[in-house]
Amino acid sequence: MAMGKEDDNRCKPVHDGHSEPLFETRRKTGRVIAYRVFSVSVFACICLIWFYRVTVPIKIDVNRTGIDRLIWFVMLVAEIWFGLYWVVTQSSRWNPVWRFTFPDRLSRRYGNDLPRLDVFVCTADPVIEPPLMVVNTVLSVAALDYPPEKLAVYLSDDGGSELTFYALTEAAEFAKTWVPFCKRFNVEPTSPAAYLSSKGNGLDSTAEEVAELYREMAARIETASRLGRVPEEARLKYGEGFTQWDADATRRNHGTILQILVDGREENTIAIEIPTLVYLSREKRPQHHHNFKAGAMNALVLRVSSKITCGKIILNLDCDMYANNSKSARDALCILLDEKEGKEIAFVQFPQCFDNVTRNDLYATMMRVGVDVEFIGLDGNGGPLYIGTGCFHRRDVICGRKYGEEEEEVKSEKVQEMIEPEMIKDLASCTYEANTQWGKEMGVKYGCPVEDVITGLAIQCRGWKSAFLNPEKKDFLGVAPTNLHQMLVQHRRWSEGDFQVLLSEYSPVWYGKGKIGLGLILGYCCYCLWAPSSVPVLVYSVLTFLCLFKGIPLFPKVSSSWFIPFGYVTVVVNAYSLAEFLWCGGTFRGWWNEQRVWLYRRTSSFLFGFTDTIMKLLGVSESAFVITSKVADEEAAERYKDEVMEFGVESPMFLLLGTLGMLNLFCFAAAVMRLASGDGGDFKTMGFQFVITGILVVINWPLYEGMLLRKDKGKMPTSVTVKSVVIALSACTCLAFL
């Protein structure tokens, strides 16, 4: 093959010490028992709430008997859903485990005799995924603490952009300075932009020279990106690569473009410790469906790269997820190469973390509890989900090998000459996968917006387990959405995809039956139910404040013994949630932001994801892959830094949020006016509704600011505000006369 396939399938320990495990799995028994007691007590109170709804007669107004009974029944159905969903969510917390690796033991045992590692960085659009950001990710993984002759970095450009290719050629030149500098001075993080940003002005003379080279490279790339074209002198300098673009090539219509920029086997690159660097843009034609990121992964990861370096281990990263820890690969190998427990692990998943999160995590993008608690809990049930980035895989497993099957032998062969890229371009053509099992039995799965989730599920159903590593120092850091709309769109796609999984042939309920444990099935279902959970949440919250407006009590009086289970569930669950959030390193304000964001996700993103899935099932619409923008203008960036919520665009999701927010405000105002007029009976009979509606008003304060008080460009568009107010007022007016 082009780079030579060395016999790394059977990495032999170079030293004794087999008895020492390369990683350790720990359980915290006391904490687990405490949580189980808490969980059971909450479910017991939920059961009491069900009993109350069924047995305690509703106070019926003779003028609206049917409506009262319907409302009571709807509340019961919603509370049954909440109870069952509570049971499902406990699967990811019932049996948590923590993994700890021993890289020093790995080094003693294997030295540099490690398996080949192929790293795949995926990008798709040079406008919303700037080339400079992309090459910073490439440079960060090129400088991993790994034998350079065993490391290869591939950039998959699904946008087929000359600008991205140009940026990579510039990065390949700069790597000759950057990678040796990182190895010599143990630089962390290994992304040039992140490293220089962290150092500020505190650079010595050597680092300043490297920084100046980076600034010059960055200026050239940013100038080309701003002008939208590659400089002529660059075309002359790197002419061989640019000749692969046809004159009429577009993002959706071009041939395969493959260029090996750095050959990591050559003596001059080995001497300066530069790994192999490869650019690929697979063929795209309008008449052929390209299967989005999954199609790009299969073309590059499992076909083209197999003819160039064929790494036994592969790491895939989104283009904004740079390596924050140069030893991440060694941490993953501690699990995959462990002689005892590592043989059953197919992939090692790292958390998706971000370096631009505000102190109080304005948009709850870190999902602290999800990372520090829920994924750890899934690990104890057979392994976490594959989330599409920051994941180390065994190549043959993602290609379809079942647990227990023998690994394919790779003969040791040393090919001195380079195979021409033209000889393997067909592997990335549009027609190569026709009438094959690619996307079905082989490679990353097709047909779902969350192809990574079903791919991980399929691997686990073949008998494999996965492992979750969450070291104190985050291994990979990305770019979090810096405005509310970006975040909501991203979660709309995720919830839609997860719900599609639940209804597809890959549903964990029937696809996983008999293949994976019940705990893991429920863990998958927890995420698959995000979209349908939006309906009962929306109905329950809307009924609470609308019935307050009409004076219809939905909950027992505070003085009643029946109020105890309602109060317990509300207070204790939120108190535990706060304590858990603080334990995971968050702040009180961060927890409050998270409550707001989850409310917005459930009443907009998840609801739209639910309706999108239903529309797709009815054949009315098709799923679309939406790329989250990684750029923001300076004013928006400053507002984000100051933790001011960004609206700024017209969106159906904002119209829904604005209408619900104003409706909640009007209902609360009406209740306060009744209370101020001396009607204290309302508060005695509907105190709980009053408190809930008031809390929702406080949670929505940034929304009201954006709609009514702010004047900057990030405020809610006037058209959305007017429509929301009109709809909410119309609803209240109609309700008043019912």
Residues 429/436, Cβ–Cβ less than 8 Å: no
* CA dist., res. 119 & res. 152, Å (int): 6
Using DSSP bridges, classify how beta strands 322-323 and 313-318 pair: parallel, antiparallel or unpaired. Answer: unpaired
What is the rounded end-to-end Cα distance, in angstroms, of the chain? 77
Closest residue by Cα to residue 381 from 449, 466, 323, 320: 466
452 catalytic? Reply is yes
Alpha helical stretches, state H, 285-417: 292-299, 328-336, 368-369, 375-379, 395-398
Residues 628/394, Cβ–Cβ less than 8 Å: no
DSSP 624: -
Q: What are the start-end ranges of the E strands in 367-525? A: 391-394, 465-468, 476-478
Query: What are the residues facing 250 on neighbouring strands?
Result: 253
Instruction: For CA atoms 135, 138, 144, 147, give the dihedral sign.
Output: negative
DSSP 404: T
The residue from 118, 452, 612, 682 that is catalytic is 452
What amino acid is encoded at 685 in this protein? T
Residue 411, SS3? coil
Query: What are the residues facing 301 on neighbouring strands?
Result: none
Residue 724, SS3? helix
Residue 8, SS3? coil
The total of other beta-carbon atoms located within 10 Å of residue 224's CB is: 21
* CA dist., res. 589 & res. 583, Å (int): 14
* CA dist., res. 507 & res. 617, Å (int): 15
* CA dist., res. 412 & res. 8, Å (int): 8
Question: What SS3 string covers 507-548?
Answer: CCCCCCCCCCCHHHHHHHHHHHCCCCCHHHHHHHHHHHHHHH
* CA dist., res. 331 & res. 334, Å (int): 5
Closest residue by Cα to residue 547 from 715, 686, 402: 686
* CA dist., res. 108 & res. 13, Å (int): 9
* Torsions phi, psi for 113 (to 5 deg): -85, 65
The residue from 8, 118, 157, 158 that is catalytic is 158
Q: What are the start-end ranges of the E strands in 198-256? A: none
The total of other beta-carbon atoms located within 10 Å of residue 332's CB is: 27
158 catalytic? Reply is yes
- Residue 93's alpha-carbon distances to 31, 98, 373, 499, in angstroms, are 11, 12, 7, 21
What amino acid is encoded at 181 in this protein? F
> In a 10 Å sphere around its CB, with 0-12 CB exposed, 13-18 middle and 19+ buried, how is residue 378 labelled?
buried
What amino acid is encoded at 606 in this protein? F
Using DSSP bridges, classify how beta strands 465-468 and 345-349 pair: parallel, antiparallel or unpaired. Answer: parallel
* CA dist., res. 492 & res. 512, Å (int): 25
The total of other beta-carbon atoms located within 10 Å of residue 33's CB is: 10
Give the active site residues: 158, 452
